[in-house]
A and B are shown apart, each in its own frame.
Chain A
Amino acid sequence: MGVQLTVGMGEIHVVRGAGNVLTALGLGSCIGVCLYDPLVRVAGMVHVVLPQSQADKIGELPGKFADSAIPATVQRMVEQGASPSRLKAAIAGGAQLFQFGASSTLDVGARNAEAVVAALRQAGIPLLAKDVGGSVGRTLRLISDNGLVVVRTIGGAERELATLGSILASSGVAA
């Protein structure tokens, strides 16, 4: 009895058991973070919008900011029976306006990617795969059966980014 959930901007969704799919649509500069505990099949996704939270603005959507999003998602997953030490991550998004010439002030995509990677490291969660940067829109899916992470470039093909539940998936990529 699986569910298919769309993870909107700043939202966190956590599901337990097989047959569920979490999706983040239209990632531009935002980052979709997939977290997975293979043992209890708890899957979480958060749609991060900005790198840093300002204390007064976290409000109802801690998922909006990289620094508050990762701890909040881990917390929700622990409530569903996941163990922080078993979690593995994959991320996608963080696109930027195409650089036609001089560097841009609008570098929120790169800052987001940096902040998410730092927050994962801080939480001690290995980052197994990432598809970040460039100037393309992306759609990200996490399948709860085995932690399969699939990325599609809008207007392009779909490809497998990682399987977070794989036995071999034990170490992180260089961040």
Chain B
Amino acid sequence: MNTAAAPEKLQQLVQTIRDLPALPEVVVRVMRMTEDPRTDAQSIARVIATDQAMAARVLKLANSAFYGLPRRVSTLSEAVVILGFRTIKNLAIAASTFELLNREIAGYWLQRGELWRHSLACAIGAQLIARRVRLPVVEEAFVAGLLHDIGKVAINLFVREQFDQIMECALKERIAFVEAEQAVLGFNHAMAGGLIAEKWNLPPSLVAVIKYHHQPSSAPEREPMISIVHLADVLSITLGIGIGGDGLYYHFEEDTLAMFGLEQADLDDLCEQIVEQMARAASLQEQPEVVLQ
């Protein structure tokens, strides 16, 4: 199988990624601050407030039905105190990637909004899994789930051009669609996502999740977060949330279940909770403004 990309095609991909918008400076700073144990709510609020549009969007999300706050919060510092600054960080990331993830991804036959729904379901699913297996990474899981498929935005046009060949390759070779992307195009959406994450200066742990979310066992270090997102992705796509032309041609690493001690009943339960939370999250999908600059 030809797995090396033609140099000019790879060059085009690199250019496409270069042309994608940067993460707003505020988000990058907030992400860094939440890593620092000395950071307090007030300083996070102050940083977000330096970007007024971002501040407004974060407040709007904080007041959405998803968080079910008992009363309306009107200031950022209040939102940070009530929701915690890790949740606020997630809201800032969600607000700033919404426009990208909400695009139509025709290469995968995803209508506008479908990739966003899939990303959100995976974020919610990753959070639920982290909580269930008692790993103290619940908020990180949300971000990792949200961004896992960001590479589809970059390789969309390449896949659209050769969708039939990729599908044919997957069926003929009996390989997952993502592996067929690699075979036909010479790159795949997970790898492209890793490049975007690096361009955005996201932490290496997050880059690894995006890069290896289809094959956690291939990662240089077997971080539980990669497997959490892998499972959340599998559950979301099985449920049909953001299912595209690539269908369920997805290779699930079954040992993920043994790793976390999960059984069929747990999976059914997780599916049910994802569906329930997605219904509540409908309010998060109604924030149409463009945030990326």
Contact = CB atoms under 8 A, between A and B. Distances in A.
A137 B252 contact: no
B249 to A, nearest CB: 5
Interface in B165-190: 167, 174-176
Interface in B252-267: 252, 254, 257, 263-264, 267
A136 B175 CA distance: 15
Nearest to A52: B268
A104 interface: yes
B272 A155 contact: no
A26 B252 contact: no
Contacts of B247: 95, 98, 134-137, 154-155
Main secondary structure on A side of the interface with B: loop
Interface in B72-124: 109, 114
Interface of B: 109, 114, 163, 167, 174-176, 234, 237-252, 254, 257, 263-264, 267-268, 271-272, 275, 278-279
What 7 pairs between A and B have smallest CB-CB spacing? A155-B245, A28-B240, A137-B243, A135-B248, A136-B247, A26-B240, A155-B109
Given A49-B272, A64-B272, A97-B250, A106 B242 contact: no
A9 interface: yes
A145 to B, nearest CB: 26
Contact of A155 (B167, B238, B248, B264): B167
Nearest to A136: B247
Contact of B245 (A50, A95, A154): A154
B243 A50 contact: no
A64 B271 CA distance: 11
Given A26-B114, A50-B271, A95-B248, A106 B243 contact: no
A8 B279 contact: yes
16 contacts: A10-B275, A28-B238, A28-B239, A29-B238, A29-B239, A30-B239, A96-B248, A98-B174, A102-B254, A104-B254, A108-B267, A134-B247, A135-B247, A137-B240, A137-B248, A154-B245
B240 to A, nearest CB: 3
Contact of B238 (A97, A136, A156): A97
A64 B274 CA distance: 12
For B247, B257, B267, the residue with the greatest tally of chain A CB atoms inside 10 Å of its CB is: B247
Given A28-B239, A97-B248, A135-B248, A155 B267 contact: no
Given A97-B234, A155-B163, A30 B267 contact: no
A93 B244 CA distance: 14
A26 B275 CA distance: 13
Interface in A2-47: 8-10, 26-30
B268 A50 contact: yes
Interface in A79-102: 93, 95-98, 100, 102
